[in-house]
Structure 1
Amino acid sequence: MRAPERIIGVEYTGNPVNAEPYWNYMWSVEGTKPELPVVGFGALISIAIIAFISYLASKIEVAVFAFGSLSLLWFMGLWPMTVQTLALALVAVVGALLVAFPVGILASLSDTFYTSVRPIVDMMQTMPAYVYFVPAVALFGFGKGAGVVATTIFAIPPALRMTNTGLRNVPEIYDEVGDSFGANTFQRLKKIHIPSALPDIMQGVNQCIMYALAMAVIAGWLGAPGLGKLVKDAIWWTSLGPGIEGGIGIVFLAVILDRSSQGLITKAAREYGTEVEEASAAAGF
Structure 2
Amino acid sequence: MIKPRDPDAEAALEADDIALEVFIHALKLRHGYDFSEYSRASLKRRALELTRKFGVERLGDLIPSTLYEPALVREIVSHLSVPVSSLFRDPEVFLRLREEVLPMLASWPRINIWLAGCAYGEEVYSLAIMLAEAGLTQRSQIYATDFNDYALERAAEGIFNRQNLPEYRRNYMESGGQARLSDYYHARYELMRMRRELLERVVFAHHNLVTDGVFAEAHLIMCRNVLIYFTQPLKDRVLELFADSLVRGGFLVLGNKEALSATSPVADRFELVSATDRIYRLKRDGV
Question: For this structure pair, what is the TM-score category when the shorter chain's length is used for normalisation?
Answer: under 0.3
Normalising by structure 2, what TM-score? 0.25
Which structure shows the bigger proportion of residues in helix conformation? 1
Greater per-residue strand proportion:
2
Larger RCO of the pair (alpha carbons < 8 Å, separation 6+): 1
Say which one has the larger Rg.
1
